[in-house]
Structure 1
Amino acid sequence: MTSAPVVTHGLTKRFHGGQVAVDAVDLEVPAGSVFGFLGPNGSGKTTTIRMLLGLIAPTSGAVELLGEPMPKAHLRVLPRVGALVEGPAFYPFWTGQANLLRFDAADRTADPKTRKARAGEALERVGLSNAAGKKVRAYSLGMRQRLAIAVALMQRRELLVLDEPTNGLDPQGTREVRHLIKELASDGTTVFTSTHLLAEVEQVCTHAAVMSRGKLLRQSTVEDLRAELRPRLVVRTPDAGTAAETLQGLGVTDLKTSGDTVEGDPGELPVEKFAAALVAADVRIHGFGLERPSLEDAFVALTGEGFDVAE
């Protein structure tokens, strides 16, 4: 057993017909982290989460949540875990508050004496206090998403598992959920959140794992993932041809020219050497500098594909 809140060993799921949705995934989520489970739609993220929570059985491999084997220890483990998986499902003709109270009543570990107060606090945290008495059938998708997060927050959780938590939210709702995730992490909750949005990981997460076509390609801190790519030298000039020849002569590799922009891998030569050489070659410089890679660059480098792909 390990102290990491989420651990998998060789986790694999094959569906009928031989389709491999998750292929020998080894995960380890650090305690107290905001862990971004990153990949395009169809990459196996939700299937992995369903196995973590014991909702479906793996074909092979093992899962530990909060140091206990799943699904064997689900009665001990799941009361310590809050989850939002594959979108919210509620009683549409009940109010938001009534739905929260019903979900909490189904939790054998919940204290009925504090139920109403906890529901009010959870609704306030997700910005739905004013809609507490409104029937859920009148809620927007974004409001239902926040209500689902409120269900997960009815009790203090050691681990929060969120599958695409900002799905359907407007920009303001997205900011609120991101702030909430950071707040929960600062209180000591480990947050495991899946997403296909790179901005989500860059703005919220401390750690990330990259999934593609059922395989786990990389897991590390977000900063380490980004830092693995070398910075690119970028020059903007109307003399792109001359600039490219000059840079090539100085050892710049992987040169690419597009319109008035020339870029490439500068290697180890100090950047001021390139500027001096370009000026000496009478290259008119409209823009010059090193550009740090984005998380999207790191993803493309790992997978060879963008985020508009499906499994």
Structure 2
Amino acid sequence: MADAAGAAEAATVVETTGLTKRYRGGQLAVDGLDLAVPRGSVFGFLGPNGSGKTTTIRMLLGLIEPTRGTARLLGEPMPSAARRVLPRVGALIEGPALYGFLSGRDNLLRYDAADPDADPRTRSARVGEALERVGLAAAAGKKARAYSLGMKQRLGLAAALLQPRELLVLDEPTNGLDPQGMREIRALVRELAADGITVFLSSHLLDEIEQVCTHTAVMHRGRLVTQGTVAEMSAGVRGRLAVGTPDTAEAARLLKEHGVTDVTVEENRVTGELPAPVPAPGHGNAGADGAAAGAGAGAPDGDPLDLADLNAALVRAGVRVRAFGQENASLEDAFVALTGEGFDVAG
């Protein structure tokens, strides 16, 4: 049993049980969080602003104490084991704090000198390697106040990587960045993951999670809604059917006749929700509406709508089909399905 427990700890770098934080005045920021972050993953901690993400990160790193519940980082209890654990963890929380009058290199030298575990004999070499790793070697001598926001974020990452790390915790690392800066940070996260570092990335940007993460958890109003791989998150949500055609009115009419719902027309594109499979006899009562939908689709009871038959029906009706297919569900679709609410993808 002890070996099994040790193996579980080795496979999980972040684990919480019932983690809860209630602030003075009664505000419940995090409510009974049970989280498990696999080693080697790029874990997206997803939720709208104000959903409890930053509060959770602060508890994980021992910056604030939970009201109740437990947290373990790299197999050690937090915050009691902070002195042993934190040297193995790099973090960038809500942007880096920099001395604007110092160069990028001098900022990192100051950060490293403040680390009691840092070896001063290798300081210069490690600072140079960190700057190289985040693509700032050429700008190392420039004053930090002249850095763009993206460069400052990369310098903050360099500070988190001055020592070898097993876990990197990033809280909204692309906040305020332009598209180019976002691409730079995402590329760096992928490189770090390829080097074997587990990355815990908090974000309110759904496309960011989809582009870089292997696993994700969704927070909503302080509670964990679900967690798993990114593929699992969207697998349970039916995608939308999309038809590209100049004959949008006729296409929309036919789709509705074949049981497609929530039909939307945008320029030369018609989309809609595919009907759920109708239960076969003896496996539930589809009702009159379900039977009619199944009959309209021309599919046997219990079978999903045959997309090839639907495409053929559009062509027979004279609809000029330029594109036809089922779009995969996105994380936004999954979030709406899980919470019944929209998601502020823009911030």
TM-score, normalisation: structure 1: 0.92
Partner of 2:327: 291
> Which residue of the partner structure matches residue 283 of structure 2?
none
Match for 1:18: what amino acid? Answer: G
Residue 284 of structure 2 aligns with which residue?
none
C-alpha separation between the residues in 2 aligned to 1:230 and 1:308? Answer: 21
Aligned to 1:263, which of 267, 272, 275? 272
Q: Does the residue aligned with 2:159 lie in a helix, a strand or coil?
A: helix
Range with bigger deviation, 148-157 or 207-216: 207-216
For 1:8, which of 11, 16, 21 is the aligned residue? 16
Q: Which residue is equivalent to 2:313?
A: 277
Task: Report the secondary structure of 2:324's partner residue.
Answer: strand
CA contact (8 A) 1:240 1:262 kept: no
TM superposition shift of 1:136: 2.0
- Residue 302 of structure 1 aligns with an amino acid whose one-letter code is L
Mind listing any 5+ residue stretches in structure 2 that lack a counterpart? 277-303
Q: Distance in 2 between matches of 1:239 and 1:96?
A: 58
Three-state SS of the structure 1 residue aligned to 2:332 is helix
1:285 CA displacement: 3.4
* One-letter amino acid of the structure 1 residue matched with residue 104 of structure 2: G
Q: Letter of the aligned partner of 1:179 in structure 2?
A: A
Q: 2:77 aligns with which of 66, 69, 72?
A: 69
Does the CA contact (< 8 Å) of 1:243 and 1:262 recur in 2? no
Answering whether residue 114 of structure 2 is matched by residue 78 of structure 1, we say no
CA distance in 1 between counterparts of 2:101 and 2:322 reads: 61
Q: Aligned-pair distance for 1:53?
A: 0.2
Deviation digits for residues 236-293 of structure 1 (CA, Å, limit 9, x no counterpart): 456555545544444x243424356252214412211112223334444344221111
Mapped pair 1:105 → 2:141: no
In 2, Cα distance between equivalents of 1:135 and 1:239: 59
Go from structure 1 to structure 2 and tell me whether the alpha carbon gap of 1:289 and 1:303 turns closer, same or farther (over 3 Å shift): same
Worse-superposed segment, 270-279 or 299-308: 299-308
In the alignment, is residue 178 of structure 1 matched against residue 186 of structure 2?
A: yes
The structure whose Rg is larger is: 2
Shift of 1:148: 0.8
Corresponding residue for residue 59 of structure 1: 67
Report the Cα distance in structure 1 between the residues aligned to 2:309 and 2:132, rounded to whole angstroms.
57
Identity %: 65
Partner residue, 1:24:
32
Write the mapping of 1:1-311 to structure 2, written as runs, cut at 5 A.
2-3=9-10, 4-237=12-245, 240=248, 242-250=250-258, 252-258=259-265, 261-267=270-276, 268-308=304-344
Counterpart Cα distance in 1 of 2:135 and 2:176: 15
Worse overlay, 59-68 or 193-202: 193-202
> Distance between the aligned counterparts of 1:30 and 1:66, measured in 2?
10
1:302 Cα deviation from its structure 2 partner: 1.9
Distance in 2, matches of 1:35 and 1:273, equals 40
Q: Which range moved further: 288-297 or 63-72?
A: 288-297
Native 8 Å contact 1:240 1:257 kept in 2: no
Superposition CA RMSD, Å: 2.2
Sort the Cα spacing of 1:137 and 1:280 in 2 relative to 1 into closer, same or farther, 3 A.
closer
Q: Quick one: structure 1 residues 100 and 272, their matched pair in 2 at CA, closer, same or farther if it must change by over 3 Å? A: same
SS at match of 1:109: coil
The 3 A distance-change label for structure 1 pair 56 and 243 is same
The alpha carbon displacement at 1:131 in A equals: 2.3
Higher mean alpha-carbon deviation, 22-31 vs 274-283, is at 274-283
Structure with the greater relative contact order (CA < 8 A, sep ≥ 6): 1 or 2? 1
1:143 CA drift (Å): 2.0
Contact 2:206-2:345 within 8 A present in 1 as well: no
Structure 1 unaligned spans of 5+: none
Give the match's secondary structure for 2:325.
strand
